[in-house]
Amino acid sequence: MQYYPFDSRDKLYKPHFGAVAAEESLRLRLLLHNDARVHNAYLSIERDGEAPMEILMQPAEQLEDYRFYDCSVSLGEGLYWYSFYYDSDYGRMFVTKTETSLGIVSNKGGKWQQTVYERDYKTPDWLKGGIIYQIFPDRFAASGKQKQDIPDDRFLQSDWSAQPAYLQNGEKRSLGNDYYGGDLLGVAEKLPYLKSLGINCIYFNPIFEAHSNHRYNTADYMKIDPLLGNEDDLTSLCEDAKKCGINIILDGVFSHTGHDSRYFNKDRRYGDGGAYNDFSSPYRSWFNFHRWPDKYSCWWGVPSLPETNENDPSFTDFITGENGVIRYWLKKGIKGWRLDVADELPDGIIDNIRKAMKAEDPDSYLLGEVWEDATNKISYGYRRRFLRGRQLDSVMDYPLAEGIIAFITGGDGDKLCETVMTILENYPLPAVHTLMNHIGSHDTARILTRLGTNEQGNRAWQSSRRLNDWELGLAKKRLLAAATLQYTLPGVPSLFYGDEAGVEGFGDPFCRATYPWGNEDNEILSFYQKLGNIRRNNTAFREGAFIPYICRLGIFSFIREDDNNRIFVAVNRWDGCDSIDLPEEFKSAEVLYGERQDGKAILPPFGAIIIKA
């Protein structure tokens, strides 16, 4: 039998898979053929940005014609990179990483990553095994209650089913100022519906006063937008939701405000004060003026979004202090925050946000928006430390989202398996169990649209483009397969409101259409309800291990297991039928979804099976 020199995912070489806690003993084993004529073998390991340490490995037992070389290390919190080398009769040879977890004898490969996190890193248990429901608050549900103090420059749409505006069309109605009247009381009315989906967490896009329908241009962090309701409505919603087993987290947009805010106040909506109008304003230090007042740093160069100076002591205290934004709304009943563009926030303010949250409520949840691997992300020239125990609880899992979509639309099972295993290898388990596993959000085209067509066009084209019958039929089949993976892989699935009802649409603003109450696609909806029931009633989905099974071409299958529960899942992304042999214990076990015959999983086009042993 042929062996590799090293495999970071095989317990033969690395008994502890994945990230480790600080000071925990980490054992690494190199396996070299006797013909290599090894004199000494070494581990070369370096903390990110520092000089490598060379550790002599001890000769250990034989395995056929191979010998192990062994060492153990204890590491402090940080990000590490390692490889191996050995001296032999043939000179110095290197063992480096391939594109997967395997090692080869070559000096041209890469290094393995080792994440080491703080020993007391803990994430909220209440979210594990749960389901997140993301709500764009203006578009989910409207109570019909009369609103008070609504600015007169907002266009209030009277037709709930009308398409969101996409043109700059005169002073009254322009991109971003059309509103449909969704509100907090409307969400409260729909709590029984959300409970039927198995939801235990609502994530709201911004709800604070702001002068656009998306509200990412905050005008007042201490006030609920009047179209959504008031502070009492939020408190009441939090209380009612908790009775249904649902917690609420809010979107925190701290990298910038709106230009039309009480802090910047360029348009003088809030009187004569504000950083733009008053050089002596207490808010002026919150912003980076190159030349006051008209030259200032903007978020991605957008003048209506002046960047905040997050390191300014006054701003930091306003957000994270004893009476700051973070703690104020936690006191009102919310259970956590999602940080918009977390990778654009400096470490200091994220550190302080976590401290404030955990001081107020140790069980609160801090989620970050990071589009890449959050364990090794570099932003603004330095390595980030989001998931090592002093900052975020977890992140939005974009790598998994793209991996699932790529597989469902024609990719290979082995590539999706590599994506999943890389996440599990790099991310600390506390973060893994609370990852936000979305496949669509307010920032992307609707998942049904993405799965039905790859055509592109300008906004005018997008406004009139709908999936035809064939595309819609294909997209629905693909969506059910994608949702099966989303709900059963490690992490917490996040459902973007309306995806379960068959809403389609391209990017902003078309992905932000209203929920189609009374016109849902009941086939998709009933499937999501079934998935929610399966997930919430099987403990393996909380913190269970992930064990790949058959992952090839158009088939992806795996087992999730904990001490009490073993679940088998297989998905076929082909447009033709397929089948695979089941592991022995699943050949006569309970089928939760799908079809089994003669000890095989029967997988129709874009079909799936879930079996409980």
CA-based radius of gyration for the chain: 26
Q: Give the SS3 label for residue 315.
A: helix
CA angle 114-119-120, nearest 5°? Answer: 135
Q: Within 13 A of 181's CA, how many CA atoms are on the CB side? A: 15
Catalytic-residue membership of 425: no
Q: Please give the full DSSP string across 5-23, using - where no structure is assigned.
A: S-BTT-TTT-SS-S-EETT
Give the Cα separation of 559 and 548 in Å (integer): 6
According to DSSP H, which parts of 244-380 are helical?
313-320, 325-331, 347-360
Q: What is the amino acid identity at position 428?
A: P
Q: Are 191 and 236 in contact (CB under 8 A)?
A: no
Catalytic-residue membership of 500: no
Determine the distance from the C-alpha atom of residue 391 to the mean position of all C-alpha atoms in its chain, rounded to a whole number.
15
Give the 3-state DSSP-derived string for 439-506, with helices as H, strands as E and coil as C.
Answer: CCCCCCCCHHHHHHCCCCCCHHHHHHCCCCHHHHHHHHHHHHHHHHHHHHCCCEEEEECCHHHCCCCC
Tokens 């970071």 — which residue?
Answer: 8
| Ramachandran class of 594: left when φ > 0, alpha when ψ lies in -120 to 50, beta otherwise | left
138, 251, 260, 369: which one is catalytic?
A: 369
Q: Give the SS3 label for residue 536.
A: helix
Question: What sign results for the dihedral spanned by CA atoms 182, 186, 188, 190?
Answer: negative
Nearest CA among 455, 349, 454, 469 for reference residue 410: 454
Task: Enter the DSSP assignment of 180.
Answer: -
In 3-state terms the chain splits into helix, strand, coil percentages (rounded to 5) of 25, 30, 45
Measured in Å, how far apart are the chain's first and last C-alpha atoms? Answer: 33
183, 340, 425, 578: which one is catalytic?
A: 340
Tokens 């989620």 — which residue?
Answer: 367
Query: Number of helices and strands (H, E) in the chain?
Result: 14, 33
Q: What is the amino acid identity at position 287?
A: F
Active site residues: 340, 369
